[in-house]
Structure formats: structure tokens, C-alpha cells
Amino acid sequence: MRIFVSNLPTDTTDHELRRLFSRFGKVVKSWIVEDHETGEGRGHGFVEMTMAEAKNAIRIMDRSWFKSSRINVQKSRFTPGRGRRDRRDSNERPAREPREQANFSASRT
């Protein structure tokens, strides 16, 4: 199960996030979402664990304190291939047909 963790301090590292959740079981994968230009954390990340471990982690960690921030922990609604970057970079969109312009130049009498 993938867990979404928000309201993280921007200086949080992948390693810190992994350590934070490893007490609940084996962390399969974890990552911090970073700003593409600055490389700084954007304040949220993801953790992948087994279903039972993830549910326990969510129950205990939601609204807990981490590095002076109250973090939010919930089941992720992330769906691969549905991010903003995928839509923006997609060249598969059909071209839009130009709209017909109404002719308002006719005089009214």
C-alpha cells in the first residue's frame, strides 16, 4: 500500500522518511517530492509498505509531530500516469478544431 505523507518540513530527506516509517515494518520504497528547479523538498512524500503495516502506520502517525511539524498521513490516491507532468508532456492529444467565429459586423436596423 502506498502512503501519502504531507506537511513535512522542506528539509526532510528520503532517508529520514524511511526511518520514520521503518518502525512499523519493512519500507519497500519511500521518496520525497522535490521542486524540479531548486531540488528542495515540497513538503510531502510517499512510503510503500504492506497493507497491514501501512494501516497501522497511518493510524499511529497521522497528526503526529515530526521535526516540529504536525504531519498528515493517509492512504495515497496516487495513480501512475495521471500526474500533471504526464498530461503536460503528452503529445497524443488530438488537435482542436478551430471554432467558427460569429459574424457581428452586420448592422442592426
27-81 pLDDT, tens per residue? 999 999 999 999 999 999 999 999 999 999 999 999 999 999 999 999 999 766 6
Q: Which of 5-9, 11-15, 69-73, 92-96 has the lowest mean pLDDT?
A: 92-96
| Residues sharing a CB contact under 8 Å with residue 17, sequence separation 6 or more, in sequence order | 5, 8, 30, 31, 32, 45, 47
DSSP 39: -
C-alpha cell at 95: 488537435
d(CA 57, CA 3) in angstroms, rounded, equals 9
